[in-house]
Amino acid sequence: MVLRWLAALLLSPLLVSLAHAGAYEAELPAELASARDMCALVPCAEVFPGATSFSERKGQPPYVEAYAEAPEKGAAKQLLGYVMLSTDITDTPAYSGKPVVTLIGMDKAGRYVGIKVLKHSEPILLLGIPESALTRFNDQYKGKSVTDKIEVGPARPDEGVLGVDAISGATVTVIAQNQVIGDSAAAVARQVGLIAPTVREPARYTPTGAALDWAALVKQGAVQRLRVRPEQVGLPGGGEPFIELWFGALNSPVLGPALLGATSWHNLMEQLKPGDNAIFVIRSAGAESFKGSGFVRGGIYDRISVRQGSDTFRFRDTDALNLYGLAAAGAPAFNESAIFIIRSPSFSAAYPWKLNFLGNRVDRATGARSFANFDAEVWLPAGYLQGGRPVVEEPQAAWQKVWKARAPAIAAFALLLVAVAVVYALRDRLTRAATHKNKWPVNAFKYSFWVLSVVFVGFGAMAQPSITQVLTWFHALLFSWQWALFLSDPFIFLFWIFIIATTFVWGRGLFCGWLCPFGSLQEIIHKLAGVVGLKRWQFQLPRRWHDRLKWVKYAAFFGLLAVSAFSMATAEMLAEIEPFKTTFLVGPLNRAWPYTLFLAAILGIAVFIERPFCKYLCPLGGALAMPSTFRWFGLRRKPDCNRCKACAVGCGSQAIDADGRIDHRECLHCLDCMVLYTDTGGCPPLAKERKRREREALPLTGVNRAGYYIPIHPIHAPAVTDTLATGDLKGRPDPRVPTDPVTPPYAPPQRATAWLVGELRDHLWPWNGAGHDGQHKALRAAGWSLAIAASVAWALAATGRLSSGAVIGWWFGWSVYEVLIRLAAKPHVKDGPWWGRRYRAATVMDMLSYVGFKNLLIGATLFLALKALGWLPV
């Protein structure tokens, strides 16, 4: 019964998430991007109350007109305003790297009357912040005008800026949404005359120069290529691209004659009116037409458009001329071509512009179809223009605005991270100044950092790291790395730099034990409960139960990683095992009751058990524990620790075993054991030696790094160094290393070249060629089969015939096998950095950490190599 209740408690947040998915990755009609009757597919009436009918798409970029019924029979319908689809105008990405598809209503005076999000890919709006928060954000625009200068943040009346309130924890999303709403409305308002259209200074070209061949034009950047691979639209990969287009401007007296020939170019110029600009487009490869089905139906080229700044230019049949050939030597053969005329003073070839291709993407997992935009930019070389290129001020990216707006808080946060690292680096001095009865030289810093992490980092900056960020990093590294995605939250960005660096240097304990907001909150609750009289009921789980339950967090991490390989959205939902969003981003009172109950249960248990979530459930802790296996520096132990239980009894994270060894994957770096290490009154071996010297009236010398009194008389004999100076192992395990040290026969030699070869063989070759694995020929044969199958999987991926998810599945399978074979053939790992030469016996978790992390790096390298070659489908 208890297990059923616990399962329901753990699953209820997920069920709530599924029930309230709303617009998160909603499936939109496949023909939405090209359908003339847009309002037959989307709820235009919801963003324009009072409208009874809507026109078909019109204009460039497209919009629809909203009408009211005629006031009397026979009269014309009354125009109320306009409705636009944001992705028809701009594809500004939000935090997820994808645009928020938004329907916008604007009346004839340019005032916003309604805004509705049709689809978004922001996981924070699925799992952390209710979509109603985004609805309330959008509602702030109602009544405001397209001519208003609207920014996220406080209003600045003296500068004419209207402010809209942000959504806590989704700053980048709302900054991007503000830009989408403003750009979309302004583009339509210019067309219908509500605001003055953008007028760019026409290009002033240099006189005719020397004739250039195709290769020279491409090298200069005057001609650009837009290439779409089949795998980018969900089709099986191969040698032939989905479509390959070449394009460029033709008005230049240098570029035009070189491409068309002098006679053809002069004939073209005579057909153009003042202010008209001609561009050419050819298809050199691929079976897909750039003209599109819309051209056949109604004379609209719906597959291509030109974008310059916030302006979009589309083409009808009256804007197109035939292009029969290219005169430039070396020009590629083509099977489709056209010359398009841009008839707008808003366009100028002197400024950069993009050719946009609208592709039909198929989701290979579900078969669902959607549209995806692909573009490439061209800017005439400075030598083609009189006076060179004009100065272009690009709008600040959303992440840049966030960094600028929160600069003081970011600087304070960076200072906090540096302070924690410096204090911990000086831990020897602090722990020597403390005793088991007075730990304040350490705790004064540690408790201060706990409070700052909860108040400033957690509730203030909302910078609680999460396992979803690990999964995002994993997928971004393998599939689509975007710096803007990681820079969009400066606190999280800086935090992860700190976490990665300190995890490899000292292990995960510095972050988990000193700076994790949720971990610190649990610790503060536990300490305060002890102070107010609940200490008598506080306890640790029995060792046998602790050693079983600590594996749950590792299972949670590996499970989420496996699920994310096939469905990132599902993994994000399952990541609700972390109560971080409920605690810091949204607040328990703003979420459904299962989230609040789950959080209350964890914090309630924390009253009696120290950091229960950190020790048993946290998938982020499990992820960081893997590289902690190979931390560079660990906490000190002395040989006497193998029989003394003083540190183990006081270890809140229960990371010290019966032999006095510290499991640095579990250690949260409270430093209590380091205080005892040099405490002459608290460490039993030191206390025994102190009392002996006091009885015999011998001087009390200092305590050395080995954790013992410095000998009164210098000891020169090496044979004596393991007695008084360094203790005595007495046949028991050495607590200074996590497992027994070994020297495997295949340890790399000392010479540099041979060492490198030995290192590569050791990391890439799981068999030892003799010994235990030789007795299991069937297991080795299975390994060869699996290795061959995994290699074939990579080869199929390289030829575009296997998806990334399938390759990851094979890679997981190989990793599991490698763990098994290494435990039998090479049951050793290195202690400390991988490039070191200190070997020790491997536990199962040691091997899982080693193989998992090593193969993650190798897999990422292979993925990046295949992507660089353009072979890997995504």
SS3 of residue 243 by DSSP: strand
Between 339 and 18, where is the model more confident? 339
Residue 3 in this model has a pLDDT that exceeds 60: no
Q: What are phi and psi of 204, to 5 degrees?
A: -110, 115
Residue 224 in this model has a pLDDT that exceeds 90: yes
Residue 8: which pLDDT band, with cuts at 50, 70 and 90? very low
For residues 346-352, give the mean pLDDT: 93
Residue 19 in this model has a pLDDT that exceeds 60: no
For residues 544-550, give the mean pLDDT: 93
For residues 262-281, give the mean pLDDT: 93
For residues 206-234, give the mean pLDDT: 86
Strand partners, 339: 280, 321
At residue 435, the pLDDT reads 93
At residue 479, the pLDDT reads 56
- 56 with 63: CB under 8 angstroms? no
The number of beta carbons lying within 10 Å of the beta carbon of residue 143 is 11
At residue 872, the pLDDT reads 53
- 619 with 626: CB under 8 angstroms? no
For residues 674-700, give the mean pLDDT: 92
Residue 720: which pLDDT band, with cuts at 50, 70 and 90? very low
- Mean pLDDT lowest for which of 297-301, 491-495, 681-685, 734-738? 297-301
Query: For 41-54, what is each residue's pLDDT tens digit?
Result: 999 999 999 999 99
Query: For 580-589, what is each residue's pLDDT tens digit?
Result: 888 987 788 8
Residue 76 in this model has a pLDDT that exceeds 60: yes
At residue 214, the pLDDT reads 95
Residue 332 in this model has a pLDDT that exceeds 90: yes
Between 556 and 864, where is the model more confident? 556
At residue 775, the pLDDT reads 46
For residues 429-435, give the mean pLDDT: 94
Residue 167: which pLDDT band, with cuts at 50, 70 and 90? confident
Give the Å distances, CA to CA, from 816 to 152, 441, 754, 847: 49, 45, 29, 10
At residue 457, the pLDDT reads 94
- For residue 725, which amino acid is it? A
- 82 with 56: CB under 8 angstroms? no
For residues 715-730, give the mean pLDDT: 49
Query: For 552-581, what is each residue's pLDDT tens digit?
Result: 999 999 888 888 877 777 787 888 899 988
Please, which contacts does 791-799 make with residues 24 or more away whose CB atoms are closer than 8 Å? 794/862, 794/866, 797/866, 797/871, 797/872, 797/873, 798/866, 798/869, 798/871, 798/872, 799/237, 799/238, 799/871
Mind giving me the DSSP string for 329-346? TTPPP-SEEEEEEE--TT
The number of beta carbons lying within 10 Å of the beta carbon of residue 388 is 12
Residue 718: which pLDDT band, with cuts at 50, 70 and 90? very low
At residue 4, the pLDDT reads 46
At residue 777, the pLDDT reads 62
SS3 of residue 829 by DSSP: strand
Residue 11 in this model has a pLDDT that exceeds 50: no
Residue 801: which pLDDT band, with cuts at 50, 70 and 90? low
Give the tokens for residue 418: 């540096």
Query: For 122-151, what is each residue's pLDDT tens digit?
Result: 765 555 566 778 888 899 999 999 999 888
Q: Rounded distance, CA 371 to CA 31, Å?
A: 8
- For residue 485, which amino acid is it? L
Q: Rounded distance, CA 102 to CA 184, Å?
A: 10
Residue 793: which pLDDT band, with cuts at 50, 70 and 90? low
| pLDDT more than 90, % of the chain | 42
Per-residue burial over 770-805, b = 16 or more CB atoms within 10 Å of its CB, e = otherwise:
eeebeeeeebbeebeebeeebeebbebbbebebbbe
Q: What are phi and psi of 813, to 5 degrees?
A: -60, -45
| pLDDT more than 70, % of the chain | 82
Residue 772: which pLDDT band, with cuts at 50, 70 and 90? very low
Query: For 628-683, what is each residue's pLDDT tens digit?
Result: 888 888 899 999 888 888 898 889 999 999 889 999 999 999 999 999 999 999 99
Instruction: Indicate the average pLDDT of the chain.
Output: 83
For residues 376-402, give the mean pLDDT: 85
| Bond into 61 cis (ω within 30) | yes
- Mean pLDDT lowest for which of 78-82, 307-311, 601-605, 775-779? 775-779
Which ranges of 426-466 does DSSP label H, i.e. alpha helix?
A: 427-433, 440-452
